[in-house]
């Protein structure tokens, strides 16, 4: 599927202004960035400073244009500066963008989410995915009266203290801090098991079931690269939680509205007890949400004893842009188009890697893609870590020089948007063919 007539991008000649901007930033921002992966340490080189973006294209300070497969790390499913989202933001800006009081926009978005997502009757908005998962864990503990949380190795649920854990040597181990500044006493309440390993999950419930408040999982892992759930895995987790009186929490911050209107739970037919959302429901503005059936959500203050609050939660700007984005996704043929574009890209990358004789294991769920520099299979964090990160770094920079912007880490997910065109997909495949050939040489 490597198309001979794909348009070729000229090699980028200079990024001098980005380099200068990064040097200035490092004096006043820790590491020169506001989120670590942006610093390009996993791939080397100097990060791009973005001046503007439209559709599927971002442009840096030096005027270099790139086809973007990061999409602000997932939320821009409609593309950059999409007209409907932009119009919704403009209307809010004319009237005021933060009140610290209820607005009709948050109710409208909550109604839409509750109608779309099977596991949600009621919603509470927050400002990030981290806040959503942190609050969902507190709610699960308050609802069950238990302390322990189970999560999977390699699944990232934000940077709250109790979830910044790494696995020990056993199949089911108490987590130890994976960041300085996190007390071991906090992560000791988090158990860590391998992703896609139902036996390990069964073992931890057999040993600690009466103390487990919730099992928190990305139903489609997106933070070790894109790793789909194995057949029966999510259903098995649901069964274990039901048997032991624990709650199943789906972290759909990434997959929510990305793989379908009903998220991963709609795709796989598994309804969790609590759902965490973010990214797409704000259309690229700071947002998060968690929701559940009414009996669970009514434990939240002011109705119940579980406290959680936020000055900017449900702010009208994020709510309006999120609602415009979600409503656009209800238009006929939207997900079929995303599927066609993503399948075209995935097949083209596989063919290009095969032609170069390069071991490459690809994963895809809808418009989420993973590219692992190894023969595979990749089913969990341990197998993902076998990837050749040096080869990915070479691939990243070879693509960048041809005008293609990929995630600056082997262990991130590529996103296709509705703004991508078939020509841009073909251009990406042609660039990849050149990059793969260079790596294999």
**Length of the chain in terms of residues written:** 441
- Distances in whole angstroms, Cα of residue 272 to Cα of each of 204, 249, 268: 19, 6, 11
Q: Which of 9, 60, 66, 156 is catalytic?
A: 156
User: What angle, 0 to 180 degrees and rounded to 10, lies between the N-to-C axes of helices 334-355 and 422-440?
Assistant: 20
Q: Which of 60, 62, 116, 251 is catalytic?
A: 251
For residues 103 and 316, the answer to whether their CB atoms sit within 8 Å is yes
Query: Across-strand partners of 365?
Result: 368
User: What angle, 0 to 180 degrees and rounded to 10, lies between the N-to-C axes of helices 389-400 and 422-440?
Assistant: 130
Tell me if residue 434 is catalytic. Answer: no
- Distances in whole angstroms, Cα of residue 225 to Cα of each of 114, 156, 263, 371, 417: 29, 11, 18, 7, 18
Tell me if residue 9 is catalytic. Answer: no
Tell me if residue 381 is catalytic. Answer: no
For residues 40 and 54, the answer to whether their CB atoms sit within 8 Å is no
User: What angle, 0 to 180 degrees and rounded to 10, lies between the N-to-C axes of helices 198-208 and 233-244?
Assistant: 10
Query: Would you give the DSSP letter of residue 9?
Result: P
Cβ neighbors of 24 (< 8 A, separation 6 or more) are none
Q: Which of 279, 290, 335, 392 is catalytic?
A: 279
What positions carry a catalytic annotation?
Answer: 156, 251, 279
């Amino acid at each position: 599927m490597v198309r001979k007539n794909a348009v070729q991008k000229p090699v980028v000649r200079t990024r001098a202004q980005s380099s200068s901007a990064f040097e200035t930033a490092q004096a006043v921002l820790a590491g020169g960035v506001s989120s670590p992966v942006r610093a390009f340490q996993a791939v080397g080189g100097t990060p791009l400073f973005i001046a503007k973006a439209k559709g599927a294209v971002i442009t840096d300070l030096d005027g270099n244009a790139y086809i973007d497969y990061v999409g602000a790390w997932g939320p821009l499913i409609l593309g950059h500066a999409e007209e409907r989202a932009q119009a919704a933001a403009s209307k809010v800006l004319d009237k005021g963008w933060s009140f610290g009081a209820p607005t009709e926009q948050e109710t409208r978005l909550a109604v839409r989410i509750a109608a779309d997502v099977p596991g949600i009757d009621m919603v509470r908005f927050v400002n990030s995915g981290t806040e959503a998962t942190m609050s969902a864990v507190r709610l699960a503990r308050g609802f069950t009266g238990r302390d322990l949380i189970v999560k999977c190795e390699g699944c990232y649920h934000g940077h709250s203290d109790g979830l910044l854990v790494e696995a020990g040597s056993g199949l089911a181990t108490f987590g130890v801090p994976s960041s300085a500044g996190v007390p071991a006493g906090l992560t000791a309440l988090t158990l860590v098991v391998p992703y896609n390993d139902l036996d390990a999950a069964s073992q931890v419930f057999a040993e600690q079931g009466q103390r487990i408040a919730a099992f928190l999982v990305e139903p489609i892992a997106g933070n070790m690269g894109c790793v789909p759930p194995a057949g029966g895995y999510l259903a098995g987790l649901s069964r274990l939680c039901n048997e032991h009186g624990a709650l199943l929490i789906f972290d759909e911050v990434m997959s929510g509205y990305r793989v379908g209107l009903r998220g991963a739970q709609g795709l796989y037919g598994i309804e969790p007890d609590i759902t965490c959302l973010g990214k797409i429901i704000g259309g690229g503005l700071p947002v998060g949400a968690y929701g559940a059936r009414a009996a669970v959500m009514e434990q939240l203050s002011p109705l119940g004893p579980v406290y959680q609050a936020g000055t900017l939660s449900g702010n009208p700007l994020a709510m309006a842009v999120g609602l415009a984005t979600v409503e656009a996704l209800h238009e006929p043929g939207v997900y079929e188009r995303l599927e066609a574009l993503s399948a075209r890209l995935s097949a083209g990358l596989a063919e290009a890697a095969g032609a170069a004789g390069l071991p490459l294991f690809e994963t895809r769920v809808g418009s989420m893609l993973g590219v692992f520099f190894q023969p595979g299979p990749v089913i969990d964090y341990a197998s993902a870590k076998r990837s050749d990160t040096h080869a990915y770094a070479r691939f990243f920079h070879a693509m960048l020089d041809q005008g293609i912007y990929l995630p600056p880490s082997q262990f991130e997910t590529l996103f296709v948007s509705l703004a991508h065109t078939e020509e841009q997909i073909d251009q990406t495949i042609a660039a990849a063919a050149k990059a793969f050939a260079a790596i294999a040489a």
